[in-house]
Structure 1
Amino acid sequence: MTAGCRSPWGGGERSAVAGATDAVSPPAVSPSATSSAATPSAVVPSGEPVHRVLTEAESKPVYELGSGRRVVALTIDDGPDPRHTPTVLALFETYGIRATFFLIGENVAEHPALVREIADRGHHIANHTWTHPDLRHLSEDKVRDELERTSDLLQRTTGRQPTWFRAPGGDWSETSLKVAADLGMRNMAWSVDPRDWARPGTPAIIDRVLKNVRPGSIVLNHDGGGDRSQTVAALKAYLPALVDSGYFFTAPPN
């Protein structure tokens, strides 16, 4: 996916949903390998979370950070998975990296302690639906159930109401964008896809990341949904290469 030229953290113009791109300015953080953990959302007296009201521009998918600095956002999809997530967390800890984990509700329900560990290590917790369906073929009620159940469980598990959402496969629809906005969540896409989910081999994953990454890239990775040993091995190789090339890592603010 290619990039355009507006900012995601403050809004800005966006093109249509299908195939749209958006370059964005990075969050106001120092150029270090850390990003502070988010605080829980406000709660009204009834106990219901207060969702941020998004502008129309903020409701569109974000594809890149701004390219003014050598900053990369790492995103991890489809977990948590007890086979691979702990190794990914340990690797990120080694390099002082904070990432965004897009979690599937069913997996959150099965591995709540692992979800809390992700949050406690300062990573950002984000919504990736309850069952990982193709949202383009679901009614609004079903889309809302997928997103709301996941956000509610993440809130109960970590004390954080997620403010970022990623549609499975990047397959957004007008309905899913509306529901995500209703729940106070912005939509994060990606600009570098090594297709690690297809298990093309560790060398292929490494090559695709290093050839396509650039300042402002959002890189897609997977720690769940199957055998992700190739992804883990690739991270072990390309993370030090990016660090040696002068890249810093960030996670968009919750």
Structure 2
Amino acid sequence: MFTRRRVLLAGTAAVGAAGTAGLLAWGAGEKPAGPVAPAAGAPARRLPLKPSAYRLQPLTGYGPPRTLPRRPPVRREPLLKMTGRGRTMVLTFDDGPDPRYTPGILDTLAEYDVRAMFFVCGEMAVDNKDLLARMADEGHIVGNHTWSHPLLTTLTRRQIRSQMTRTSEVIEDGYGEPPHWFRAPYGAWNRAAFQLGAELGMEPLGWTVDTLDWTTPGTRTIVDRVENGAGPGVVVLSHDAGGDRSQSVRALRRYLPRLLDTGYHVTVPRRQAG
């Protein structure tokens, strides 16, 4: 059986994340889910910005596309929510990969045969390409989280492009394909970030449930935040780097089997093929 990485290396079509436009849904005939409460941003390495509210836009379904993605539109807001059948959720992890914590998260995901999204920083990924390769082999999606986790709203357009481009190059080298998703550090987006992300073939992804695990509130608190925020279409934000993430690793081991036992389908989004 071919792994995602082996298929990519064999020169077949890219899998995992492919292009989207307009309103996206999990299944044909599904109606977009209604808005939920705005999500609050939470950095891993710096003090948080004030919460940012965005109107929620749905993501599309899961699974490998048949063709490469079309170039995404330039959005004004990040995608924060999915629509579709049943109780479907997405788990995302930011700021890694970190060899101290990322392997534990990957081990738990593998144990339960669950796929997740990892928004990596280039300065972390460049020395941990083996973890990017493992993510590819195990079917996870790797997104771009800039090179050094800066506040994009304080950078010039050239600096933002450099942060994105350098990271995309590292991801393509270690993961086997360029990223198709982008997340702004601290949830701080601006027009340049949306424009440049689209030029590089990436859709902007936010979140709907923030675990605030970067504050190290305790394993039990992280578990409670995920379980209390669980719902159809939810995108959960956690971290696998940027500090001591042992609580995040332990929390995943607790809440993931509970989500699955209560009927949630934890998966990754794909973008509609062009």
Aligned mate of 2:248, from 231, 237, 251:
231
Report the counterpart of residue 47 of structure 1 in structure 2. none
Provide the secondary structure at the position in 1 that maps to 2:90.
strand
Structure-2 change in CA distance of 1:159 and 1:114 (3 Å):
same
State how 1:101-140 maps to structure 2 within 5 Å: 101-140=118-157
Of residues 199, 205, 209, the one that matches 1:188 is 205
Q: In the alignment, which of 20, 41, 53 is matched to residue 19 of structure 1?
A: 53
| Aligned: 1:78 with 2:78 | no
Root-mean-square deviation (CA), in Å? 2.3
For 2:211 and 2:140, the matched residues in 1 are separated by 22
| Cα distance change, pair 171–111 in 1 and its aligned pair in 2 (3 A) | same
Cα gap change, 1:23 to 1:182, in 2 (>3 Å): closer
Q: 1:151 touches 1:162 (CA, 8 Å); kept in 2?
A: yes
For 2:60 and 2:70, how far apart are their aligned partners in 1? 20
Q: For residues 40 and 94 of structure 1, do their structure 2 counterparts lie closer, same or farther at Cα, with a shift above 3 Å needed? A: farther
Q: CA deviation at 1:25?
A: 5.3
TM-score (norm 1): 0.83
**Structure 1 letter corresponding to 2:54:** A
Matched, 1:160 2:204: no
Matched, 1:208 2:225: yes
Shift of 1:118: 1.3
Q: Mind listing any 5+ residue stretches in structure 1 that lack a counterpart?
A: 1-7, 30-34, 42-50
**Superposed displacement of residue 55, structure 1:** 2.2
Task: Work out whether residues 60 and 186 of structure 1, in 8 Å CA contact, stay in contact via their aligned partners in 2.
Answer: no
What percent identity do the matched residue pairs reach?
A: 39
Contact residue 120 and residue 144 of structure 2 kept, 8 A:
yes
The amino acid of 1:243's aligned partner reads L
Contact 2:95-2:120 within 8 A present in 1 as well: yes
Q: 1:67 to 1:192 in 2, by over 3 A?
A: farther
- Describe the superposition over 1:2-49 as per-residue Cα deviations: whole angstroms up to 9, x where unpaired: xxxxxx944239x9xx5213242541x4xxxxx45x7996xxxxxxxx
Q: TM-score, normalised by structure 2?
A: 0.77
Q: Deviations over 1:165-210 (max 9, x none)?
A: 0001111111111110111100000000010011011111111111
Answer yes or no: is the 8 Å Cα contact 1:9–1:24 preserved in 2.
no
Give the secondary structure class of the aligned counterpart of 2:83.
coil
- SS of the residue 2:126 aligns to: helix
The equivalent residue for 2:188 is: 171
Given that 2:119 and 2:145 are in contact with CA atoms closer than 8 Å, whether structure 1 keeps it comes out as: yes
In the other structure, the counterpart of 2:71 is 53
2:107 is the counterpart of 1:90: yes
Partner residue, 2:48: none
